[in-house]
Structure 1
């Protein structure tokens, strides 16, 4: 029977695999990720060509099952996709581009959502660097000739969890966490843009994936004063419900639930598509003990302000800030929180989280908690710390006197007195003097 062994070895060489699907995820600044779903791990060779610009993959012993005409190229630098035979058994996959791009390729092993994948990352040729897809001016405080110090806004980094290849938790009705949290994050960005003394930085601006370390890196590069990561996770029991706020733990999770959620969120890189040989980068993933020790108090206070506001619109899972080892919060030396807006695995909360009005209410709660904290405890070099005895607030649609009082951290009676109000009725465009609390 020994003569069978060479035949078995020869047969295994010629077993073909399939490329079952191709997905394209356009990112910021022209960056794009192309993902090939494979039936098994395959060897490949990649190179680029010019006139026209192309990236070519020769995939050993494979065949293309996906109709490439059905792949959505919208918003990407890809002009066309095509495939054909190369040699006797190999597959040639050609990505024709509108202009030259740098590229890299790497395989990803199976996980709970996907099987084997081959990733092609396209990067626009170097251009002037813009942090986080947003040009943000962050001047250092300088002395003017009058001796007055120029101050800056509080920079709030808003991180919408998951994205692209990683849908996050999926609730009843196929409600995806990545879409819910991006909607909340964009509404929070809009509110902060309109608020004097604050500048928002949206870490993920569309449906693409960013590595957990890259999210923190973008916040650091922009000089963020506060980092908030927004999520809507799932639990193994659909009866679980309620919002939560977490900070990074220095000694382990504060509850079984916190540990479970942190473990799930920390798997995001393997799903979203981060090159795994970099996953143990010691410098990037190591907790900066001294910095976090100095910032734990601020994180607890900030989280408590946000929880107080969330409790006005949603059930809270815990009424105090919890702790867990969330990877996305590591390496940050500023207050950093992860907000679970609810359990998308709970049918009732999934319906609420998918509702645009509820998303706005959740964003407003986070906004109010954040701005109220920084107005009460403004950093020394911020405009908020140099605020005059009073300032003007212009009433917007949906405002009530009590809402404004809570948001600004002043008493309703102080607002009435400062503006000589005979009633609590307001009109859009009305100017209110906000006294210092």
Structure 2
């Protein structure tokens, strides 16, 4: 029987199905069968600690950007850091063993999984600090870095540090500098402070009674934001027992005439002290150039700078300030600012750089240029050196604008002219003991040479990228020869250009 024309039946076999419909159905099926996988936790690739008197830096290198919060806790002083998106791993646990007993600011660090995907670090501190916590994007050979910079509440003053070391007279503090602190009293008064009792020589002294060693109780520290899990066990510190014997005498070195602020020559004329700022390049997170045998520029130039410091301080009326005296990073602007704070008469930056070709060789001396580099190689080296802040890691959010302004082109023509005279004197002496890369002083826009009021030079002692020169740089004899040549060049410069009376203000 035929159906009425107004009734339509649905076909039993469906029509053609689009590919998109099938893919959507398949995706829905997979999501229903397999749960959504959580995002992979970030991985800590390396941990590094750089203790120094200026500040202590802790670096966590990782494979992704991390979100971090931190706060300080007093009595006793602690810095608590929570890092999100992180699971505890052996590399991060190794941070505990990297804290040195001589660290100026950190007693110890505790590491634990505070809660899922959150790791907590607790830094037990030796004094109150001003922390700076920031991240750095990948640069050079580094991945993402999380940086903890622990600065003292009162910044280290370079003149106060030199006074403490006996390298500066209190009467010679520059005008406008803060009052120098008095020497800190000894922690334990000497036994001879009581009135001595005269006794016959034949009477033996009474045996010393050693007091018992009592360890102070270790307080149980619970930061306010939650307990720290899996804390390493820290033994109670032992109280040192006072000793009656005298300490071993410090090694005696020649006492150069650098204590008095002013001296008189044979004719009665006043001769003032000359202050030289030596700047060993790179340091800390910034290794500088690395030779084929693994020699790091930052280590070589620090060794040469220390030799040079010793030789200069043996000269009459010369004293030296190092912009860094250990393996830690100093931003370019801070290097210049340190020299200006001590009102340095000269600024000498020491390097041992690399070039694109391993055949490049020879020593060079550079001064600042106002109009551009004198050669392509000079421009390339300057650009490379000026990346030090990016590689070493500068917290740009808190970078002192006054220090950063030093890197502007404020140098005068007179400063560059004086720098050229110094550079020629030093290059002439170096030519007597080493091959020169170029027979004249070169110029380029090195940021570290931009002190507007200090004659400044940068010395490339040799190319660490050249295997033969890398071997020379590692040799103690060559380091001593370079230091001696620079010393002679500085003496030649001062002989022809006596320093004027100090009139600058810090």
TM-score interval for Structure 1 and Structure 2 normalised by the shorter chain: 0.7 to 0.9
Residue of 122, 125, 128 corresponding to 1:97: 125
Give TM-score scaled by structure 2 length: 0.69
Counterpart for residue 468 of structure 2:
348
Distance 1:242 1:52 in 2: 54
Q: 1:404 maps to what in 2?
A: none
Q: Which whole-Å deviations, capped at 9, do the CAs of 1:217-271 have from their partners, x for residues lacking one?
A: 0000100111010000001111100100000110111111101111110111111
Give runs of aligned pairs for residues 255-294 of structure 1, distance below 5 A. Answer: 255-277=375-397, 281=401, 283-288=405-410, 291-294=411-414
Residue in structure 2 matching 1:203, options 314, 323, 331: 323
**Alpha carbons of structure 1 residues 127 and 346: separation in structure 2 relative to 1, 3 Å:** closer
Q: Normalization by structure 1: what TM-score?
A: 0.79
Distance change (3 Å), C-alpha of 1:140 and 1:104: closer
Contact 1:86 1:92 in 2 (8 A): yes
- Equivalent residues in 2 for 1:64-213, closer than 5 Å: 64-65=88-89, 66=91, 67-76=94-103, 77-126=105-154, 129-131=157-159, 133-135=161-163, 136-137=168-169, 138=172, 150-213=270-333
Structure 1 176/140 Cα, relative in aligned 2: closer, same or farther at 3 Å?
closer
Residue in structure 1 matched with residue 8 of structure 2 by the alignment: none
Q: What is the aligned counterpart of 2:345 among 216, 220, 225?
A: 225
Give the aligned length: 372
**How far apart, in 2, do the equivalents of 1:179 and 1:49 lie?**
37
Alpha-carbon separation, structure 2, partners of 1:63 and 1:186 = 43
Structure 1's unaligned 5+ residue stretches are: 383-437
Residue by residue over 1:59-102, the C-alpha shift from the partner in whole angstroms, topping out at 9 and shown as x without a partner, is 11112331234424243132222221222221112222233322
SS at match of 1:263: helix
The structure with more radius of gyration: 2
| Deviation of 1:194 (Å) | 1.1
> Where does residue 258 of structure 2 map in the other structure?
none
Q: CA deviation at 1:152?
A: 1.9
Q: For residue 53 of structure 2, what is the aligned residue in structure 1?
A: 28
Q: Is the 8 A contact 1:25 1:33 kept in 2?
A: yes
| Structure (1 or 2) with the greater helix fraction | 1
Please give the secondary structure, in 1, of the residue aligned with 2:87: strand
Local SS of the residue matching 1:166: coil
The answer on whether the counterparts of 2:53 and 2:156 sit within 8 Å (CA) in structure 1 is no
Which of these residues, 350, 353, 359, is aligned with residue 239 of structure 1?
359
Q: 1:18 aligns with which of 29, 43, 46?
A: 43
Q: 1:130 to 1:139 in 2, by over 3 A?
A: closer
Instruction: Give SS of 1:235's match.
Output: coil
Q: Provide the C-alpha distance between the structure 2 equivalents of 1:353 and 1:297, rounded to a whole number of angstroms.
A: 30
Distance in 1, Cα, partners of 2:96 & 2:112 = 14
**Residues 1:11 and 1:129: Cα distance change in structure 2 (over 3 Å):** farther
Given the alignment of the two structures, is residue 369 of structure 1 paired with residue 498 of structure 2, yes or no? no
Alpha-carbon distance, 1:372 to partner: 1.3
Q: Distance in 2 between matches of 1:349 and 1:321?
A: 20
Going from structure 1 to structure 2, the CA distance change for 1:246 and 1:73 (only over 3 Å counts) comes to same
More moved, 373-382 vs 260-269: 373-382
CA distance in 2, matches of 1:255, 1:280: 33
Q: 1:278 to 1:128 in 2, by over 3 A?
A: closer
